[in-house]
Structure formats: C-alpha cells, structure tokens
Amino acid sequence: MRLVFSALIGSTLALLMASTAVIAAPQPSLTVYGEPAKYPAGFSHFAYANPNAPKGGSLRRSALEIGRYDHVMPYIDKGIGVSQIDGWVYSPLAQRSLDEPYTVYGLVAEKMERSDDGLSLRFYLNPKARFADGQPITAEDVRYSYDLLMTQGSLRYRTLFADVKHVEVEGPRQVRFDFSSNENRTLPLDVATLPVFPEHWWKTRDFANGGGYEAPLGSGPYQVSKVDSGNTISFKRDPNWWGKDLPVSRGLYNFDHLSLEYFGDTEVARQVLRGGAYDFNREFSATGYSIGYNGPALDDGRLQRAHLAKDAPQPAQGYVFNVQKPMFKDRRVRQALAMLWDFEWANRQMMRNLYIRQQSYFSNSPLAATQLPSAAELAILEPLRGQIPDEVFTQVFKAPTTDGTGMIRDKQLQALALLEQAGWKPDGDKLVNSEGEPLEFTFLNAQAGLERLLLPYKRNLAQIGITFNIRRIDSSQYVNRIMARDYDMIVTGFPVTTSPGMELYNYFGSAAAFDPGANNYIVLKDPAVDSLISGLVKATTQAQMLTYAHALDRVLQWNYLWIPNYYPPGTSAAWWNRFGRPAVEASNDEALETWWQVSSTPLTNEQMKAELIKRGQPGGAH
C-alpha cells in the first residue's frame, strides 16, 4: 500500500512539474515572436504621449467611413458602424502601442501568461477594471465577448480567432484561451486586443444588428453622449475612468468632448472643414490635399496641412480588377490595362508631384519585395512554379512608367500586343474577342473628385478601342454592390501592418472571395496565394515571416490584380490650429488621442508658438 501511495505521489509531482514547465511567468506585455518589448515592466507612459498634457476642451473630426452610419457598434458586417467605439468606449484586454511593429500592453488585463508551447494564453484581469455603470469586468464578460463576436460579429473575428479551441474561466478575474495550433504567431496578440462587453447589458439587446442607435454601456475613457441618426455622434470623457492612470493611458484621451462628423462625399467633408464646422479631416484625395485647402487661413497657419506618421506603413491603394469577370481572367489583359494609367502625368498635372507610386501591397514597410528573391524565398517559391508568374523568380516588379507628358503611344502599342495575344483584335474602332464582344468594363465609384483622375485613363483606353465607363452611385448602393461583388473595377485599399497575420485571408484568401463581409475585393481565388499566406501566418521568427511576406508580395505584384495607385509621405490631414501635439510623434498612427486643446479658436503660427511657450507646452509641430 505504501509503495502504491508513493508511486501516486511521484506521479502527481511529475505532472505538476511538467505542467509548470510549459507555463511562462505572467507578463505585462506580449510580442509576436517573444522578443523584448520596447517598454519594460513598470514604464510610465508611451514615448509618443505627453503625460502632462492638460485635460479639457473638444475635438471634432470627420469619420473614417464614407456615408452615414446606420448603427453604433462597429463589430458587425452589416452597414456602417462607428469605428472609434472600439477603443474610446470599449477597452481591450491589452492595448497596442503605436511605435512598435506589434506589441500589446495590459489594459483590462494587467498581466498575460503565454505557455511555452504556444497553445494557451491566460489573462489576469485588473481588479480596478469597471464598466461605466460601476460593475466590475469579469472573466465571464471576457468569455461572453468572445462568444458574441464569434457567433454574431463580423466574419473577420471568425477568421482572426479560427484557431481558438476553447475559452476557460478559471476564476472571477482569470480566463484562459486554448489554441488548436501554435502555428499562428500573432493569435495571442490578436486575442489580447479583444474588446470586452458587459454581459449583463448586452444579453437583452440586439448585438447582431449593431445595437441600433442606442448609446452602448462601455468600459473605456469615453461614453457616448449624443447620437444624431447617422450624421454625428458625440462622446464625453469619463473623468473617473478606472484606467486613466495606467501607463498605456497616461497622456492620452485629453479632450473632454469628441465628435465624429459623417459625410457621404469627401469633397463636402473638405468644404465643411474649410467653413470651420469641425476641426480635423483625414484627407483621402491627393488632389484635395494638394489644392483643396489653399487660402488665407492656410497661409497664416490658422489652418494646418501636413503628412503625419511618416514612418507608418501606407495602405495599399489601387484600382482593383474583379478577376472573376470574364474579360479580366487573362493576366495579359490586366497587364495591358495597367500600362495605360499614366501616373506620372497625373502626379505632375493634378497632384504637384507630391505622391509616390505604389509598387507593393506592403508599401513603406520592410515587407515590400524590392529586390530579387533570396535563396530562402526561392525555396518557398520553387514548389509553386507553374502556378505563379515566371517573372516572380527573375525580376523585381516595377509599375509601368511614362515620361509624364501625357503621350503614351509606346505603352498603347505594348498593350495592344498583349491584348492580341489574349485574343482581342481590332474591329472598326473597337477591340473585340473571338465572339465579337467588345472589350468594355465599368468603374463603380462613390467618391466625388475621382473622375478627374479616371477621365485621362478613359481617353487612353478609348484611343486603342476599349470602352471604359464610369458610374457614380450613392454610398448605400455602393456598399451593397461591393458586398455582392457586383462590379468590374473599383478603387480600394488594403491596410498594411508590419506584423501581418490571419487578416491577410480576409483580403486575399480564397474562402473570402465571395463572402459579403470580407474584404477580398479582387475576388481572388488562388491556391498559391493561400499557401503563402499560410506560411506567413505560421512563421516562427520575424525573419521567416518577412521571407514569406516578400514572396507573397511579388506573387500578387506579378499577377497584375490591380492598377497600383500612389501613397502620400504620411497620413494626409488638415486641421484648425488650436491643438498641442507631443514632441515625439507616434510612428504608426496620427494618434489624435495624444493631442490636447490649446485654444478654443484657431491661431496663426506665430500666435500658437507664443501660446505654447507661455504655457510651457512645446508641441511637436509648432
């Protein structure tokens, strides 16, 4: 009996030791590959935040979305929600820093514990964490939030969290996520950015439809104070917010009042800003940024115009082909059409040579393929030979260039040769295929001002017998058409991060091609691309991830899936000059949450400089 008992004790101790061996110590931060975080435990504040920034005042900005919002919550695929609810109203388990590739620091969760085998992640919730009604945030709320997003939320959550196997509540403030695989290196950080919803509030409301226009009960630094049915939404700072003194929050969320203004037209948004009705506009039009704000206010500094976050990876923007359309099936057709958009002329004539031509799907980042493939890349690409363009192996991609004069006869002749190879031949003043059908396609547009860039392209196409239609529709129709993939060509962008992961399936994965909630606007179904995304997601080191990113980029480039546009040297923005900004800018974002009010009315450059000196608040831009 004694022998059996001793054996059981030994066995139990061995199991306990084994269990302990695979669990790392709880940490206040997480990085993708386990590398040290920029900010050590006990740091006081992010470098891009001013911990002495005064609280008070207001900031009114234009929304990132074009069109009216039709519900408040941004976590579903239907219609338009309010994106800033995420972060302003709902705090995540951990906060992402804005000056690192991908690192998160505890917020609702004060500590995080990743197992050494990468198969689980445990969160220890901050005992101070509260919802706005005073009720504590519990581990049950975390599990409820995950279940809610996975069953009623956007497709991107089901894609992002596909490898989460189980969520276990281990105590009132302790919850563990178990993973079915340890191959997705960004999954722990993605899980850590999960917003936490109050179960006691949402269980009686319609989350699946975005909660309507009701102000939601949150846990963040702001509460919704007023909802104006799709036009404006206002927020009020909670002076007693439980997280205000945490290192991730110090120097942020300085305005007492914030509001978002929604516009169905970017030109209208620009003109309303110039009229002084709101404070800050993120400009998406190169032409608008270049000349749309000119005037006395810009000359004396009352109106500011600048490119912010210049080191940030730039969204990949282009005119994308719906490659499921018959006329775009042949890569040679897409290549020919890409030759005929004259960026150099447009940049010189319309955009004051301010912009940089898009070459990559990962512009302004280390992920861009800018050199010939390395030996490591070739080892990845070689098994795909025959499924991917041959140029991938021997050439560095470069978008077609012109001399900027507007005369592109050489490009038109090259395009005609490619089109002839693809079966399109002249018939009168049209190009037709073997069945006599003309080469014709339509650009679906919901933006004012874009036609200015498209009309010269239309002329270039017409000169060699291609009919290019431009159809302008309202934003609600546009959203419906996009979700149904009912278009030939549109302009769109792909967000770029220096630590990409599962979200790439949403933009380029075959499973997302026809999903109305996904952003695969190319409607791409390519097993080779799926394979490269899988390799990137499963990478175990940053070097390996970069190798897969370069391989993926060059395969996308050489498939001519879009006509690459351009990007600015930073985030294009215009604002009225009444704000202070930290001396150190966030490298990955404009970080308006770090700004503060200096004056209730716009100041000239000289007035702002004097005011900041008087207050002892030297702002980074003044």
Can you give the pLDDT at residue 8?
34
Instruction: Give strand pairing partners of 580.
Output: 596
**What does the pLDDT average to over 106-123?**
97
Q: Average pLDDT for residues 296-304, to the nearest whole number?
A: 97
432 band by pLDDT with thresholds 50, 70 and 90: very high
With 60 as the cut, is the pLDDT of residue 5 above it? Answer: no
Listed in sequence order, the DSSP H helices in 314-442 are: 331-339, 343-350, 375-381, 391-394, 409-421
Q: Is 491 helix (H, G, I), strand (E, B) or coil?
A: strand
CB atoms within 10 A of CB 469: 12
CATH placement of domain 316-567: 3.10.105.10
Cβ count within 10 A of residue 99: 20
pLDDT given at position 269: 95
Give pLDDT tens digits for 530-585. Answer: 999 999 999 988 899 999 999 999 999 999 999 999 988 998 999 999 999 999 99
Q: What is the pLDDT of residue 22?
A: 46
Residues β-bridged to residue 60: 259
Q: What is the mean pLDDT of residues 38-63?
A: 97
Q: Which amino acid makes up residue 52?
A: N
Say what the pLDDT of residue 622 is. Answer: 44
Over residues 329-354, the mean pLDDT reads 94
Provide the mean pLDDT of the chain: 93
* Calpha distance 152→163 (Å, rounded): 18
User: Residue 385 forms beta bridges with which residues?
Assistant: 388
User: Helix, strand or coil for residue 569?
Assistant: coil
The tokens for 374 are: 């390395």
Question: Can you give the residue ranges of every domain in the chain?
Answer: 271-312+570-622, 316-567
Please give the Cα distance from 491 to 321 (Å, whole number).
Answer: 9
User: Residue 2: pLDDT above 50?
Assistant: no
Token code pair at residue 614: 């008087």
Torsion region of 396: left, alpha or beta (phi above 0 gives left; psi -120 to 50 gives alpha): beta
Please work out, in degrees rounded to the nearest 5, the angle formed at the alpha carbon of residue 611 by the alpha carbons of 605 and 615.
Answer: 145
Q: Is 544 left (phi over 0), alpha (psi -120 to 50) or beta?
A: alpha
- Please give the average per-residue pLDDT across 365-386, as a whole number: 97
pTM value is 0.80
Is a pLDDT exceeding 90 seen at residue 519?
Answer: yes
What is the per-residue pLDDT across 442-488, written as a single tens digit (0 to 9) for each?
999 998 788 999 999 999 999 999 999 999 999 889 999 999 999 99
Show the tokens assigned to 514. Answer: 């026809």
Cα 384 from Cα 390, distance rounded (Å):
10
* Average pLDDT of the segment spanning 499-517: 93
19-28, 260-269, 482-491: least confident range: 19-28
What mean pLDDT comes out for the span 161-180?
97
Residue 24 has a pLDDT of 67
